[in-house]
Amino acid sequence: MKKNRLRARGLSGLGEFGLINSIVKASRRASSGALALSGASVIVPNGDDAAVLDVRAAFGSDCLAISTDMLVEGVHFDCGLMSFYDVGVKSVTANISDMAATGGARPLFCVVGLAIPVDINVENVDNLLAGLRAAATKDGITLIGGDTVRSNKSIVISITIVGRIDKKSVVERGGAKAGDLICATGAFGDAAAGLRVLQGQRKSKRLCRARYSDAIRAHGYGQLVHAYRRPRHRLNEAILLTARWPRPTAMMDSSDGLAACVRAMSSAADLGAIVNLRDVPLSRAFRRWALSVSGGPLDPKFPWRTVAEGGEEYELVFTAGPSDVPALKKRVNFSVVGEMRCGKGVDFMLNGKKMAGEWRGYENF
């Protein structure tokens, strides 16, 4: 009866993470025998940012990290707000970020699947592929193949990326312990604010797809728009963090938002967490935009949810023991934004007061 009720209420009732958990359970049962025959073993199973296979017994090499990311037009990107070249770059960046999140796996090669409407301009397809190639080449990734199919409406991009990583460097999302500090690289909210700026420009019919409009330049929002169109990954930072002891105890990337990261890591470790919003780094450009829509950080209208739930920054969110943080800070610049604790649930605090409502981040369903 329980399964029938889940089916009746559809994917929105099951939720993205519920769907992922169902797929993970089924795929683990199906793949265990094949892995045993190949001589490989699973270090990090599917369900994390990337699966990690120990193939040293079979190939005498490092572990393999494998990840697939899919982007759908109208869900993950809008070709009216960014160039096709930007779409190509961003799709590869998302996959490299998954390599970073698993402990700094060095990407080697990828395969690309494209679903494309028949009426799309060939020049646009060329620009999309040029962006893919440029982003892959920049990080030494070889595009070794893929597939293309016809789409009835939207562009769909699916990339599977394979990298290599030393087993000692692998970091799972569920390794945090109570008392570990929650840390984050970079600033949050820029990409989400950039998207809102572009959406506002489109409504006022002042948007040029590939360039910043005069209004965006005049208000100093170019950095926010660039963060949305061309986010950067943190692979180098991940490699530095995991190169030697001490290492992070858990790690993810913030593609779905800071709130989603903390919630997923705390759930995987069977812990609760607290996040202090005033400790989350914000760029000057974001603060300038936020002041245009609110009276300041203490104003109830201040876009704190954009900071915590906006996503698409591709920053690293990780945990570390308090005594390990000083050593890690000598390698990489980051901020401490919260703490893992015993119990359940994630509380977002502002000046000592718990913020109302549930803070979740982006979910597909």
Please state the rounded mean pLDDT for residues 211-226. 74
DSSP 3-state assignment of 74? Answer: coil
CB neighbour burial string for 267-303, b if at least 16 within 10 angstroms, e if fewer: bbbebbbbbbbeebbbbebbeebbeeeeeeeeeeebb
The residue to which tokens 């990339």 are assigned: 159
Please state the rounded mean pLDDT for residues 120-139. 89
CATH class for the domain made up of 181-354: alpha beta
Select from 183, 222, 142 the least CA-distant residue to 315: 183
The most confident of 112-121, 213-222, 267-276, 285-294, by mean pLDDT:
267-276
The residue to which tokens 């997923």 are assigned: 264
Decide which of 201 and 227 is more confident. Answer: 227
CB distance 250 to 172 below 8 Å: yes
Largest distance between two CA atoms of the chain: 62
CA 149 to CA 31: how far, in whole Å?
27
Query: Tell me: the pLDDT tens digits for 268-300?
Result: 999 999 999 999 999 999 999 999 988 888 788
pLDDT band at 340 (very low <50, low <70, confident <90, very high): very high
- Return the number of other C-beta atoms located less than 10 Å from residue 7's C-beta: 10
Element (H, E) at 13: helix 2-14
Quote the pTM value: 0.85
Please state the rounded mean pLDDT for residues 168-192. 97
The CATH T-level fold of domain 65-168 is 60s Ribosomal Protein L30; Chain: A; (3.30.1330)
Structural domain boundaries of the chain? 65-168, 181-354
Decide which of 215 and 69 is more confident. Answer: 69
CA 106 to CA 139: how far, in whole Å?
9
